[in-house]
């Protein structure tokens, strides 16, 4: 198996040349001190952790898996020591609020670190990102007292966090939850109910686990409007912020035996009169929890990106070393019995498809992360509002499209290896298993597509998309001065017109038939994802040409990017026309059969 290598060259190029991170950070007071040298040092150190701390325990963690015994979970060998090193390095509080011991780093930087951690060891990465999401939600919505009591130790990595949403009878439809919260009269509440599929709900990595739990008061309004959010620690915490030594009636009933991410505990959590505290206002819990859910959805796209990168590394090395057959144009290694399989066009098709998706997915994730930073740190309210609109549009696409393409890339990597791709020692079959869940959790990709098509597009009458299309126009205008870009810019212009035309048609048809929204949703998500990948490749090309024309940078690396882009525009972007035709087909054939005919 090829050991994971942090893709630092690509990441530095995207941060510095494509997204001009130094200028972006300098323009916002909250990130002004984040210098280029600091970013480089943090990324390089995260790469070392990925390669030397997390990757070596990835396969063994999968084989050993988490173990449950009488309510307690033991993580695989090496995970506890790795988490301790991760915490001591300050990584748990990297993006945390500085007033409570966090480092205040931007998401544009931390997104790349998450991708590396996911690529090196997805099971371990899940413990880390759940804590980060929980601290973000507490920081944004909890009272000053709760922040002071819980955030410092969560930033230190001494405690960790989770979110508890799903119940046995209520998955996506959270308005159906039955977990109850009863007031105690002292500002706290007693919570009773069962939650399922709770990642990191129980483990042995930290001294306490802080659960963010959705629940309802007995007199709450029906449906989603009656949901409140509560902070519920596994072990009780005193007013001084230290453990009291008492447990809090929070118990792990079991863990799931899963297809992948076996080193990550997926728990059934039982709350039996557990004491908790309200986070934000009553009956506003779902809105508050979306702070964490949006963060985690971005992370699921990053999981797809990370495992895709890992798979590409394995497949690329294998293709350059595996001897099989001869080049169609004649032997390239005449002294050997055969040539390496990378000489074959179909193998190159697979590798280029992998590479094109990985780079575009990484760039799209960074673009979405950048909007999150702007919405959080920018001093201009109008700029923040624009970024908020882009975040609302981008997150469901980034989550779904990057995790879909990430899984596809892992499967393609298996195919490059042939029979070896099916064998555990090479690591590809684990990547396939580990990446599959990213398409399901934090809102299955079909739900992301429906949210994009319905709430974010039809109900907004295309307002959010218009903000993105304006970004396209501004880029095209700015790139006109580049002679090298003239052959590529028409691709972006055509993609823009295609997505705009499709959007207008679906909005019009939905006024007559609401089923058109769901019928179009998945193909629309894929079309917008492909369009965004086109936009990302345009931005990467412009940056690459600028470096090449100035005689700076690694010419081999930059030319490789250009050739990958050429493959994307010649062989991948054209699938957008088929997606547009699929959407044009409408809902009739999809809804014609009765339920009994299935």
How many C-beta atoms surround the C-beta of residue 369 within 10 A?
25
Residue 191 near residue 232 (C-beta atoms within 8 A): yes
Structure tokens at 101: 């011991």
Q: How far apart are CA 145 and CA 155, in angstroms?
A: 16
Q: How far apart are CA 526 and CA 516, in angstroms?
A: 16
Residue 285 near residue 232 (C-beta atoms within 8 A): no
Structure tokens at 243: 């453990």
| 379 alpha-carbon distance from chain centroid | 27
How many C-beta atoms surround the C-beta of residue 552 within 10 A?
11
The one catalytic residue in 115, 442, 516, 526 is: 442
Q: How far apart are CA 435 and CA 385, in angstroms?
A: 33
Q: Which residue has the tokens 């309004």?
A: 221
Three-state SS at 7: coil
Look at the alpha carbons of 333, 337, 340, 346 in this order and tell me if their dihedral is positive or negative. positive
Burial code (b: 16+ CB inside 10 Å, e: under 16) for 265-288 equals bbbbbbbeebbbbbbbeebbbbeb
Report strand pairing: 208-215 vs 159-164: parallel
Can you list the positions of beta strands (E) in 326-365? Answer: none
List of residues 6+ apart from 564 with CB closer than 8 A: 352, 355, 356, 359
Task: For residue 584, count CB atoms less than 10 angstroms from its CB and return exposed for 0-12, middle for 13-18, buried for 19 or more.
Answer: middle
Q: How far apart are CA 440 and CA 526, in angstroms?
A: 16
Structure tokens at 533: 């990948």
Q: How many residues does the chain have?
A: 598
How many C-beta atoms surround the C-beta of residue 325 within 10 A?
12
> Could you tell me if residue 259 is left (phi over 0), alpha (psi between -120 and 50 degrees) or otherwise beta?
alpha
Three-state SS at 188: strand
Residue 243 near residue 208 (C-beta atoms within 8 A): yes
List of residues 6+ apart from 172 with CB closer than 8 A: 443, 444, 447
Q: How far apart are CA 248 and CA 235, in angstroms?
A: 5
How many C-beta atoms surround the C-beta of residue 184 within 10 A?
12
Residue 127 near residue 83 (C-beta atoms within 8 A): yes
Report strand pairing: 180-183 vs 235-237: unpaired
Report strand pairing: 266-278 vs 180-183: unpaired
Answer yes or no: 442 catalytic.
Answer: yes
**Which are the catalytic amino acids?**
442
């Amino acid at each position: 198996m090829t050991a994971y290598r942090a893709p630092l060259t690509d990441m530095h190029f995207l941060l510095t040349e494509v997204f001009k991170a130094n200028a972006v950070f300098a323009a916002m007071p909250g990130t002004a001190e984040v210098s280029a040298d600091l970013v480089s040092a943090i990324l390089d150190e995260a790469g070392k952790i990925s390669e030397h701390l997390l990757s070596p325990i990835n396969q063994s963690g999968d084989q050993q898996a988490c173990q449950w015994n009488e309510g307690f979970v033991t993580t695989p060998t090496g995970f506890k020591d790795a988490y301790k090193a991760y915490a001591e390095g300050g990584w748990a509080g990297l993006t945390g609020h500085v007033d409570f011991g966090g480092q205040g780093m931007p998401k544009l930087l931390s997104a790349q670190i998450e991708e590396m951690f996911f690529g090196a060891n997805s099971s371990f990465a899940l413990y880390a990102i759940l804590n980060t999401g929980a601290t973000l939600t507490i920081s944004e919505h909890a009272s000053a007292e709760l922040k002071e009591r819980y955030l410092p130790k969560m930033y230190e990595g001494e405690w960790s966090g989770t979110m508890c949403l799903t119940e046995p009878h209520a998955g996506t439809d959270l308005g159906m939850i039955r977990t109850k919260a009863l007031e105690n009269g002292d500002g706290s509440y007693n919570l009773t109910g069962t939650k399922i599929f709770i990642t990191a709900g129980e483990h042995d990595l930290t001294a306490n686990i802080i659960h963010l739990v959705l629940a309802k008061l007995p007199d709450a309004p029906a449906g989603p409007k009656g949901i409140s959010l509560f902070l519920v620690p596994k072990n009780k915490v005193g007013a001084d912020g230290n453990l009291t030594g008492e447990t809090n009636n929070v118990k792990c009933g079991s863990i799931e035996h899963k297809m992948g991410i076996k080193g990550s505990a997926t728990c059934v959590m039982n709350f039996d009169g557990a004491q908790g505290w309200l986070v934000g206002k009553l009956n506003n819990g779902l809105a508050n929890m979306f702070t964490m859910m949006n963060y985690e959805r971005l992370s699921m796209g990053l999981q797809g990106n990370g495992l895709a990168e890992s798979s590409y590394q394995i497949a690329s090395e294998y293709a350059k070393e595996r001897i099989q057959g001869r080049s169609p144009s004649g032997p390239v290694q005449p002294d050997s019995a055969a040539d390496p399989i990378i000489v074959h066009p179909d193998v190159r098709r697979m590798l280029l498809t992998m590479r094109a998706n990985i780079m575009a997915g990484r760039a799209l994730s960074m673009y979405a992360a950048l909007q999150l930073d702007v919405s959080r740190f920018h001093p201009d309210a109008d700029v923040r509002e624009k970024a908020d609109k882009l975040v609302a549009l981008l997150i469901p696409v980034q989550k779904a499209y990057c995790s879909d393409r990430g899984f596809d890339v892992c499967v393609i990597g298996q195919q490059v290896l042939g029979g070896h791709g099916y064998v555990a020692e090479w690591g590809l079959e684990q990547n396939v298993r580990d990446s599959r869940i990213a398409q399901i959790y934090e809102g299955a990709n079909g739900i992301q597509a429906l949210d994009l098509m319905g709430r974010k597009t039809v109900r907004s009458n295309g307002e959010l998309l218009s903000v993105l299309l304006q970004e396209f126009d501004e880029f095209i205008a700015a790139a006109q001065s580049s002679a090298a870009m003239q052959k590529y810019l028409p691709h972006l212009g055509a993609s823009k017109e295609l997505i705009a035309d499709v959007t207008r048609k679906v909005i019009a048809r939905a006024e007559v038939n609401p089923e058109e929204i769901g019928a179009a949703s998945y193909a629309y998500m894929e079309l917008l994802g492909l369009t965004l990948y086109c936009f990302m490749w345009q931005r990467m090309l412009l940056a690459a040409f600028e470096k090449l024309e100035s005689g700076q940078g690694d010419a081999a690396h930059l030319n490789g990017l250009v050739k990958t882009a050429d493959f994307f525009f010649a062989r991948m972007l054209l699938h957008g026309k088929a997606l547009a035709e699929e959407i044009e087909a409408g809902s009739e054939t999809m809804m014609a059969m009765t339920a009994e005919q299935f």
